[in-house]
Amino acid sequence: MNYLLLVSILIAIVIAPSVVFAQEISVSETQQIRLDNPDGITPDNPFHFFDLLFDNIFLGIQTNDVDRAKVAIKIAEERLTELKIMLSEKRFDLAERAQIQHDRFLTAAEEAITRIDLADARIEAMEKLEIERDVEQHRENVRRVSDDLEIQVDRRTDFNPEQIERIRILLDNVDDKVESLSIRIDNEKEEVELKLAEQTGETTQAIQRDIEMLEQTVDREHLDINVEFEVDTAVVEAEIDGQMQTFEISSLDAETIVKELSDLTGIIEAEIREAIHIEDQQRENSLDSIKELQFLGRK
């Protein structure tokens, strides 16, 4: 057999969803559930073992605990999808495996979060806020899965009381695990606030403002800042989540521009530096400031 043809057949077997369905289940409903999740290899696929193996390897090669926590939550999302599909098809043993794997990866995320200890408290706070956002999104996805399955149970007639109870228990276990991770995140946020206070000497109110600004940074979807220099003024156009704003800053000094723009917009200075683009680089009187600002933008 041609080597390329053999490889193609093997790949097709790996990525093709299983066509074996549980008894008493509407084929159209089952097909729709799988169509909603076309890329996953579900636990009833004989190659699912390799999917888990790859996930574990990918998690293991992460070089820091921030990435490890984020990757673990992402993998848990895949297990949640598998859990939904297996429960919809009444494959309860396979659903339980998916739930156990889901919880195992969330445990890995929780353990990674507790090990995060960065020298700069603001950076650590930012990273933990990003992880918190991922956890909240996962919690929302868990809620959707629960709601979807509740609708199915109400609409379909093939679930008996014992099966409905098994669904409830498995989903309760998932809820408990997500709640445990959320509590861990809350505790870690409190600890990083104390660390931030020690490093900066700021008051509790100032720390809370810093955290709020960092939360806005994490939630912000788009930031683009263009700077043009006039004789003694920097004209700044900022696109913040689709909204255009224009500022005139009476300085050509890079640090002054960044600081005043932060005061005007409430955006942290580090995020401004990352988003800045320089225009009008030919002006001789602002050349040094432009070079400095460009350097800041790459920090």
**226 in the same domain as 157:** no
**Res 274: pLDDT:** 78
Residue 113 pLDDT exceeds 90: yes
Residue 237 pLDDT exceeds 60: yes
Q: Is the dihedral of CA 210, 212, 218, 224 positive or negative?
A: negative
**234 in the same domain as 188:** no
CA distance linking residue 166 with residue 114, whole number of Å: 32
Tens digits of residue pLDDT in 14-37: 444 443 333 344 444 545 555 555
**Res 77: pLDDT:** 94
C-alpha distance from residue 155 to each of 91, 99, 109, 151, 282 (Å): 18, 24, 36, 6, 69
Identify the residue whose tokens are 């206070």: 197
Q: What are phi and psi of 211, to 5 degrees?
A: -65, -40
Residue 256 pLDDT exceeds 50: yes
**184 in the same domain as 151:** yes
* Domain assignment present for 269: yes
| β-bridge pairing 276-278 and 234-240 | unpaired
* Domain assignment present for 51: yes
Tell me which residue range forms the domain holding 99: 3-200
Tens digits of residue pLDDT in 123-134: 898 899 999 999
Q: In 73-98, which positions are buried (b, 16+ CB within 10 angstroms) versus exposed (e)?
A: bbbbbbbbbbbbbbbbbbbbebbbbb
Which of the listed residues 143, 167, 200 is the one where a domain comes to its end? 200
Question: Cβ distance 18 to 91 under 8 Å?
Answer: no
> Per DSSP, what are the bridge partners of residue 226?
237, 277
Q: How many degrees, rounded to 5, is the angle at CA 233 between CA 252 and CA 243?
A: 105
Number of domains comprising the chain: 2
CA distance linking residue 267 with residue 100, whole number of Å: 41
CA distance linking residue 223 with residue 194, whole number of Å: 29
Tens digits of residue pLDDT in 59-83: 999 999 999 999 999 999 999 999 9
**124 in the same domain as 156:** yes
Q: Measured in whole angstroms, how far is the alpha carbon of residue 103 from the centre of its chain?
A: 17
Q: How sure is the predictor about 171, in pLDDT bands with cuts at 50, 70 and 90? A: very high
Average pLDDT over residues 269-279: 76
Residue 153 pLDDT exceeds 50: yes
**173 in the same domain as 76:** yes
Model-wide pTM > 0.75: no
CA distance linking residue 82 with residue 87, whole number of Å: 9
Q: How sure is the predictor about 176, in pLDDT bands with cuts at 50, 70 and 90? A: very high
